Amino acid sequence: MTHAHGSPDDWGDTATDDRLPQWDDRDRAALVAMIRLTATRTEWSKLAERIVDRRGAWPLWEDEHPRNLFGDDDASAVLKQAVSDIETWRDAPFRFHTFFDSDYPERLRSVRQMPPIVFTQGKLVPREDGVCVVGSRAASEHALRFAHTVAQGLVAHDISVIAGLARGVDTAAHQAALTAGGRTVAVLGNGLDHIYPRENRALHTEIGERGMLLTHFLPEYGPSRWSFPARNVTMSAYGSATVIVEANEKSGTRIQAREAVAHGRPVILSSRVVDSTTWGRALQNDPGVYVADSAEEAVAHAVGIIDRRSTITRLLGTQ
C-alpha cells in the first residue's frame, strides 16, 4: 500500500494509468472528509459508488470541493483534519480500512450498502466463517440460554460468533463464545473512541484482545438512535448467516433480518420469533429463511449453511 504524506496543498498532480483506481493517502483523506460532510449511512454507501465512477476519492473531492485561493474554507479544514487523523491512526490500537484497500473485509465488499470505510481492533481473519447471534436487549432467561447454547455450538464447529455487544442476547453470545475458547466479533454501533454500553467495558476489551471489534463509524462517532440500525446492516453483511433468538414486533433485530435477506445471507429464526411477531411469520417462507425449535437445531442449520457454501466455493475454485 502506498502512502502520500503531507498536507493537501502539497499534493500536486500524480501520474495515472488505466488501473482503477489510483489509491493513496490523499484518496483516504478525501474519503474521510466526505464522510464527515455526509449525513447518513445510506449516503455513505452511495458515496462509494460515486468514487468508483470518478476513478478515485481525490478526483471526486476536487470536483465537489474546489480549493479557494487561501484554502481557509470549511471543507478545506475538514480535509486537513482528515489528513492529520490518518497519520494519528497509524499509531492507534485499531486499523483503518477503506473499500479499495486490499485488507478491507471481503464479505462487506460484496453487498449493497457497502460501508466505504471500516475500523478493526484485534485479529482480522480473511474470509471469516461467522454467524450472527442477535436478539432482545431485555432478554428472557430462555433467550439467554438459547444464545449461550448456540454460541457454544458454533464454537464447537470452529465458527466465529458475531454479535453487537448490546445488552441481553448479544452479551450472552459473546460471553459464551469466549468461555468456550472460541472467537467472537463485536460489530459496534459507535466509533472505537467510545464503549457502549458502559457495563460491557471489560467485555469490549477482551473481545479486542481475543477476537475482533468492527465498526464502520469514525472513531469520534458516539452511539445514537440511527447508528444501531446501521450497525445491524453491517453485521448482517459480515456474517455468513444470522440467528435471531428473540425479538418483539418493533425490535431493531427485524432490520437485521430484512437486510440479511437482501444481502443474500440466510436467516435462522427461533420458533418463538415466528410465533410472536408478524414480521417473523411473514419471513418464515422466504427463500433462505429457516425456523429452529431449539438452539441445537439453529446450530445444525448454521453448520449446514456454511458447509454448503464451502462446498460450492471449492467446486467453483473461488475463495
The predicted-structure confidence for 160-210, as pLDDT tens digits, reads as follows 999 999 999 999 999 999 999 999 999 999 999 999 999 999 999 999 999
Q: Whole-prediction pTM value?
A: 0.89
Listed as ranges, residues in the chain with pLDDT below 50 are 1-20
Both 156 and 278 in one domain: the answer is yes
Query: Would you say 213 and 94 are in contact if contact means Cβ atoms under 8 Å apart?
Result: yes
- Distance set, CA 158 to CA 69, 70, 184, 244, 303 (Å): 58, 57, 11, 20, 10
CB-CB neighbours of 57 under 10 Å: 30
Nearest to 240 by CA among 165, 312, 148, 144: 312
User: Is residue 164 a contact partner of residue 134, using CB atoms and an 8 Å limit?
Assistant: yes
Confirm whether 27 is domain-assigned.
Answer: yes
**The domain that contains 154 carries what CATH number?**
3.40.50.450
What pLDDT, on the 0 to 100 scale, is given for residue 22?
Answer: 66
What pLDDT is attached to residue 185? 98
In-domain check, residue 171 = yes
Whether residue 163 is found in the same domain as residue 258: yes
Whole-Å CA distances, 2 to 14, 17, 65, 301, 311: 13, 15, 24, 43, 36
How far is residue 155's CA from residue 117's CA, in Å, rounded to a whole number?
Answer: 28
C-alpha angle with apex 234: 98 to 207, nearest 5 degrees?
A: 85
Domain identity same for 87 and 156 = no
Nearest to 259 by CA among 111, 45, 44, 107: 111
Residue 7 maps to a domain: no
Same domain, 153 and 261: yes
Residues 179, 223, single domain; the answer is yes
Query: Rounded to the nearest 5 degrees, what angle is found at the Cα of 307, between the Cα atoms of 304 and 311?
Result: 135
Q: C-alpha distances in angstroms, 93 versus 123, 210, 215, 227, 291?
A: 11, 14, 14, 23, 40
Grid coordinates of 303: 453448520
Domain end residue (candidates: 50, 69, 91):
91
Same domain flag for 271 and 164: yes
Pairing label, strands 95-98, 160-163: unpaired
Q: What is the pLDDT of residue 111?
A: 81
Question: What amino acid occupies position 48?
Answer: A
Burial label for 302, CB within 10 Å (0-12, 13-18, 19+), is buried
Question: Within 13 Å and on the Cβ side, how many CA atoms surround 269?
Answer: 30
5 inside domain: no
pLDDT at 9: 42
Domain span at 34? 18-91
Pairing of strands 130-134, 117-122: unpaired
Q: What is the pLDDT of residue 252?
A: 83
On whether both 64 and 185 belong to a single domain, the answer is: no
**Number of CB atoms found within 10 A of residue 229's CB:** 15
Give 33-67 pLDDT, tens digit per residue: 999 998 765 578 889 889 999 999 999 999 999 87
Query: How would DSSP label each residue in 54-93?
Result: HTSHHHHHHHHS---SSS-SHHHHHHHHHHHHHHHHTTSS
Phi-psi sector, 317: left (phi>0), alpha (psi -120 to 50), beta:
left
In a shared domain, residues 267 and 134: yes
Torsion of CA 80, 81, 86, 91, to 10 degrees: 130
Number of domains into which the chain is organized: 2
Length of the chain as a residue count: 319
